[in-house]
Amino acid sequence: MKSEAIRRRFEAAAVVVEEAAALAMRMLPAPGMASGSLKGAQDWLTEADGAVEALIAGRIGALFPDDDFQGEEGGERDRTGAASSLRWVVDPIDGTSNFARGRLRWCVSLGLLADGAPAAGLVTAPALDERFAAMTGCGATLNGKLIHAAETRDPQAAMIEIGWGSKVSAEDYTAMIGRMMALGVAPRTGGSGALALADVACGRLDGYIELSINLWDVAGALPILAEAGAAVSLFLRDGGITGAIPILAVAPGLAGVIADASGLSLL
C-alpha cells in the first residue's frame, strides 16, 4: 500500500479521533457507582461506547467508503463485499470499567491495518491529555514528541502490567503473576490494555502481558509499539485478527527473559 494513501488516512483519522474523544469526555460519568451495564464479569458497556463507535464509523465510512471497518460494539463490517486491503479497527472506549466509574484511565483507540499488517495507530486518552500516534516508518509520538521503549535490562528493576479479562481463569492469571514476581518484576494492572501497551512504547512500563485480548484492544497500539522499538508477540500472525489470544509487549532488553518466563513468543 502506497505510503501517501496511509498518510492521508492517518491525518484524517487524527481529526476523527479528537472529535470522538471530545464526545467521550462529554459523556464521562461523575465519579461514583458505575454507570452502565455488565456484558460479563467486570466487562462494562456504557452509552458512550456505542456513541463513540458510531461517530468514528460514520466519519471513516464517509471519508474512505472502500475501506473495511471493525469495531468492538458493532462487530465486523465488510464495506466492499470482499476482503479489503485496508481495515480500520476501533475500540471506542478502552478501559470502560474505569470510564464507567468516572475514572480517568481510558482511551479511544483506532488502528489501521494494510494487507493484514499494522500501518497506523492512534491511542488518545483525553482525560489524561495524552495522544499517542504512529505511522509505519515515521516513528511513534506522545503529544507530538518521539517516544521509545525503555532500556531496562534487569527484571528486578522492571515494572510489568498484567491485564485480566473474564476469559482468563484466576489460576492462570495468578500463575502468570507468580512467574513474573519470581523474576523480581513489580506487577501492575490499570484496566486499559491499549494504554498499557502505549505505556510500554513510551517507557513508563517495561512490559504488558494479557492472556486473552481482542484485536480492537491492541490495533491502535501495535504500530506505536513497533515504531517505538518494543518487542511484541506474534499477535496478528497467530490468530489475533479473528479471535482473542495472548499478547506480550516488552522492552527489548528484557525480551528474552520475559518471553521465557511467560511462555509467549516474540517477533
Residue 236 sits in a domain whose CATH number is 3.40.190.80
Residues 133 and 41 in one domain: yes
Last residue of a domain, one of 97, 117, 146: 146
pLDDT at 44 over 60: no
pLDDT above 90 as % of the chain: 83
Residues 228 and 165 in one domain: yes
Inter-helix orientation angle 170-182/255-262, to 10°: 140
* Longest alpha-carbon distance in the chain: 51
* Residues of the domain holding 163: 155-262
Residues 106 and 21 in one domain: yes
Cβ 208 vs Cβ 231: under 8 Å: no
- Backbone angles phi and psi of 187, in degrees to 5: -80, 150
Q: Average of pLDDT values for 23-42?
A: 71
Of the pLDDT bands very low, low, confident and very high (cuts 50, 70, 90), residue 39 is: low
CA 126 from chain centre, in angstroms, equals 15
Residues 57 and 92 in one domain: yes
pLDDT reported for residue 31: 83
Residues 212 and 236 in one domain: yes
37 or 13: which leads in pLDDT? 13
Q: How far apart are CA 161 and CA 199, in angstroms?
A: 10
Cβ 62 vs Cβ 71: under 8 Å: no
Mean residue pLDDT across the chain? 91
- Which bin fits 254, alpha (ψ -120 to 50), beta or left (φ > 0)? alpha
Closest CA to 44 of 1, 7, 97: 97
Residue 54 sits in a domain whose CATH number is 3.30.540.10
pLDDT in tens, 56-100: 999 999 999 999 999 987 755 555 444 458 999 999 999 998 999
Amino acid at the residue 133: A
Q: Is 255 helix (H, G, I), strand (E, B) or coil?
A: helix
Residue 179: in which H helix or E strand, if any? helix 170-182
Q: How many residues does the chain have?
A: 267
pLDDT in tens, 191-218: 999 999 999 999 999 999 999 999 999 9
Residues 184 and 207 in one domain: yes
pLDDT reported for residue 166: 82
Residues 44 and 120 in one domain: yes
pLDDT reported for residue 72: 85
Residue corresponding to grid cell 486473552: 212
Where would I find the H helices in 64-165?
96-100
pLDDT in tens, 142-167: 999 999 999 999 999 999 999 998 88
pLDDT at 10 over 70: yes
Closest CA to 147 of 48, 236, 42, 228: 228
Sign of CA dihedral 234, 213, 171, 205: positive
pLDDT above 70 as % of the chain: 90
Residues 80 and 128 in one domain: yes
Residues 179 and 116 in one domain: no
Residues 45 and 116 in one domain: yes
pLDDT reported for residue 33: 58
pLDDT at 255 over 90: yes
Residue 267 lies in a domain: no
pTM of the model: 0.92
Q: How far apart are CA 67 and CA 16, in angstroms?
A: 15
Q: Is 191 helix (H, G, I), strand (E, B) or coil?
A: coil
Residues 18 and 119 in one domain: yes
Last residue of a domain, one of 102, 120, 146: 146
Residues 216 and 130 in one domain: no
Q: Average of pLDDT values for 19-42?
A: 76
Torsion of CA 69, 70, 73, 79, to 10 degrees: 40
